[in-house]
Amino acid sequence: MTLLQPMTSDSATPQNMTSTKVLAIRNGSVLDQRDWLASEEPLEIRVQGRGQEFVSVAVTMRTPGHDHELAVGFLYTEGLIRSRDEIVAIEADGLRRDGRPCNVVSVQLAHSFDSARLKRNFYATSSCGICGKASLEQIAVHCPPVAPGPVLARSVLVTLPTTLRSAQQVFEQTGGLHASGLFDVAGRLVSLREDVGRHNAVDKLVGQMVLAGKSSLADHILLVSGRTSYCSR
């Protein structure tokens, strides 16, 4: 498998954050200052099966960074691949001359696939993992039931959110994005990914594990950040 990583930017502004000017009110005074916002840009995922042309299978809104992992995680969770051995090459396009990402990941597979089954009618927003699905059948989960996991001590369980939060470097500067964390049974953080979309953060983490040849994680714990939900009446 060939993995072509994104190029490194010469810009002082990281891809996953955007600097902007804001008005801050302090003790009745209005001040001009700079602030960091979590970036959100579209990512197009293109896939080529054996003997097939490249097909655009999805456009999702995400925070730039770890785009090759996001693409692989998306294909894995959608059931198009089951292991890294099915991937011939991944090309995560580099940066434009202005330092901004090109927002395209191309994946070549060792087998052909049914593009009509996977392709979404619209782009997927960062807030919803099923946006753009064309039918109820496409929403159905096509995977084995989750097997019994490890028994976790309560003393370990209660420490996980704090550990996850303390490791969120981009959230620390922006306060505006989700995280997914993979832990072992002792409560040690194995890996973490951040994104404005919670499902994107999970796909990035899944993609990282698939590329590392670790698609079976039955002895690990997945923790995702949350927020207070809302309901419409």
Exposure string over 61-73, b if 16+ CB within 10 A, otherwise e: bbbbbbbbbbbbb
Return d(Cα 9, Cα 20) in angstroms, integer. Answer: 19
224 close to 88: Cβ distance less than 8 angstroms: no
Alpha-carbon distance 140 to 142, whole Å?
6
Q: What interhelical angle do 198-211 and 67-77 show, nearest 10?
A: 90
CA distance 177 to 172: 10
Give the type of residue at 210.
V
pLDDT of amino acid 175: 82
Give domain limits for the chain: 2-20+34-224
Catalytic one of 128, 131, 143, 231: 128
Beta strands 41-48; 104-109: pairing state:
parallel
**pLDDT at site 222:** 93
Q: Each residue of 85-131: pLDDT tens digit?
A: 999 999 976 655 565 667 899 999 999 988 776 655 445 555 555 55
The H or E element spanning position 157 is: helix 154-157
Predicted pLDDT at 224: 93
Low-confidence ranges of the chain (pLDDT < 70): 1-14, 93-101, 117-144, 227-233
128 is catalytic: yes
How far apart are alpha carbons 134 and 140 in whole angstroms? 12
Reading phi first (left if > 0) and then psi (alpha if -120 to 50, else beta), residue 66 is in left
Helix (H, G, I), strand (E, B) or coil at 116: helix
